[in-house]
Amino acid sequence: MTSGRVQLVVTVIGRDRPGIIADTTRLLAGLGANLEDSTMSILRGHFAMVLVAAADVTATEAEAALAPLSADGSLQVSVREVPAEAPATPLGATYLVSVHGADRPGIVSAVTAVVAEAGGNVTDLSTRLSGELYVLLAEVDLPAAVDPEQLDRDLVATGLELGVEVSMRVLDPDVL
Amino acid sequence: MLPPLPDGRVRPAVLAPAAVLSSAATAVDPLDPDVVALAADLLATQRSEPGCVGLAAPQLGVPWRVVSLDVTGHPKARTGHGPMVLANPVVVAATRWERGREGCLSVPDLTGDVKRATRLVLRAVVPGTGEQVEISTDAFEARALQHEVDHLDGMLFLDKVAGAHALHARQVYL
């Protein structure tokens, strides 16, 4: 690593088509950027990518280099410089909160508010709307001081208010 | 495990979210003619759905502890007991847990990765005859039986998926 190395967060969002990842990463490789963590998915037909890359260029230079991606208006691309963060270390045990039920506004906010109030940290979350059915899955790190059974009771009570099923269980890591 | 059954009726499957899929079902009298008729309807409905290997009574909107199952010919099956209908099934031993992908007639557009025992011993009663049976099985039949017994406890595979990214859109093969 050179002293000028910075961490850039690149987001690409837009209509899905084959080749978005190939095009984006080719342009980043051309800048000498090294991809670190990334997540890429298709959300209701929209391609969405967030990645962190180490690079010797500024965010403005990287955004200019990625400009061809957004030339036809189908993709929005942004690059921001962020301070380097140490990789997060889990606070304690990891739990999976599963929620499913009839879709309505406010499910994610109500459930995550209960988790936050307990001091739990959501490290990964995905939701799916399938017809009338809404499904929320959240991985939550709980500090050792938090009583998981109390959180489970609070989540179930919130689920009753929302009219959705909520359950929480410990995620074992299956280290082989 | 397949008693003489009346002709079953193909009934519409209940889809999530539905309260009957999230409530524990009640134990039944396996000699009750309504239970035997329900067992026949479960098997008939299961057979009418391509790729469906099992069905639980709550999926027909009935909160009773009755399931049907048939993994015959399924590529992931090892041991198979053929078509069966079971009342009041209870898991008595579950070992050798492995993750696998499963779907559900009541959650038509999603599949999920779920850890299940690949060795299973289950006790149940055969509707119509009242015969007590103990089934020792493995692999896909074990997975399917656990999935159906979960329905009787008001649980869907959505309650057991392995992580935040363990849910998938079901592939549609045309």
DSSP 3-state assignment of A169?
strand
Residue A91 has pLDDT above 90, yes or no: no
DSSP state of B170: P
For the question of residue B131 being annotated catalytic, the response is no
Stated pTM of the model: 0.91
Nearest neighbour of A130 by CB, restricted to B22, B109, B166:
B109
The mean pLDDT of A31-45, rounded to a whole number, is 94
DSSP A23-55: HHHHHHHHTT-EEEEEEEEEETTEEEEEEEEEE
Residue B52 has pLDDT above 80, yes or no: yes
The mean pLDDT of A39-57, rounded to a whole number, is 95
Interface of B to A at Cβ within 8 Å reads 15-17, 22, 107-110, 156, 158-167, 169
Between CA B167 and CA B163 the distance in angstroms is 8
Q: Could you tell me the domains of chain A?
A: 6-82 (3.30.70.260), 92-170 (3.30.70.260)
Whole-number pLDDT of residue A1: 45
Q: What are phi and psi of A10, to 5 degrees?
A: -110, 125
Residue A87 has pLDDT above 50, yes or no: yes
Nearest neighbour of A139 by CB, restricted to B108, B159, B164:
B164
Between CA A69 and CA A176 the distance in angstroms is 41
Q: pLDDT band at residue A71, thresholds of 50, 70 and 90?
A: very high
Class in CATH terms, B19-169: alpha beta
Say whether B167 and A102 touch across the interface (CB within 8 A).
no
Chain A residue with Cα closest to B159 = A98
Whole-number pLDDT of residue B1: 79
Block residue for tokens 């396996």: B30
The mean pLDDT of B41-64, rounded to a whole number, is 97
pLDDT tens for B70-110 read 999 999 999 999 999 999 999 999 999 999 999 999 999 99
